Amino acid sequence: KAVLNRGVSVVVLPGDVALKPAPESATTHWYHAPLPVVTPEEEELRKLAQLLRYSSNIALMCGSGCAGAHKELVEFAAKIKAPIVHALR
């Protein structure tokens, strides 16, 4: 969970376990967990489209969930004439 959420985790091992040597078969390869993919329901997208279409004062609050989509975000903001506010994280 710490890898996916980029947070902190603590693993506590009893002393007798921590002092044992690792088995020869233990892997040294890091497991890169895939990032989750969030796909909104069609109905939610339709509601959002309606809100965007009929709203006159829109501002985009963008956080780390927008990472990797800078170009698309700027294009979208320009299209709907909305300022972008970014989170500290």
Please tell me the distance from the alpha carbon of residue 45 to that of residue 21, in angstroms, as a whole number.
53
Higher pLDDT, 35 or 42: 42
pLDDT digits (tens, 9 = 90+) for 50-63: 999 999 899 999 98
- Indicate the pLDDT class of residue 69, thresholds 50, 70 and 90: very high
Whole-model pTM? 0.57
Nearest to 35 by CA among 77, 64, 73: 64
> How many distinct structural domains can be found in the chain?
1
**Cα dihedral across residues 89, 74, 45, 57: positive or negative:** positive
HSE-CB at 57 with a 13 A cutoff on CA atoms is 0
- The residue segments making up the domain with residue 41 are 2-86
Evaluate if residue 4 carries a pLDDT over 70: no
Nearest to 82 by CA among 63, 64, 56: 56
Please give the full DSSP string across 50-71, using - where no structure is assigned.
HHHHH-S---EEE-GGGTT-HH
Evaluate if residue 30 carries a pLDDT over 70: yes
Evaluate if residue 28 carries a pLDDT over 90: no
pLDDT computed for residue 25 by the predictor: 85
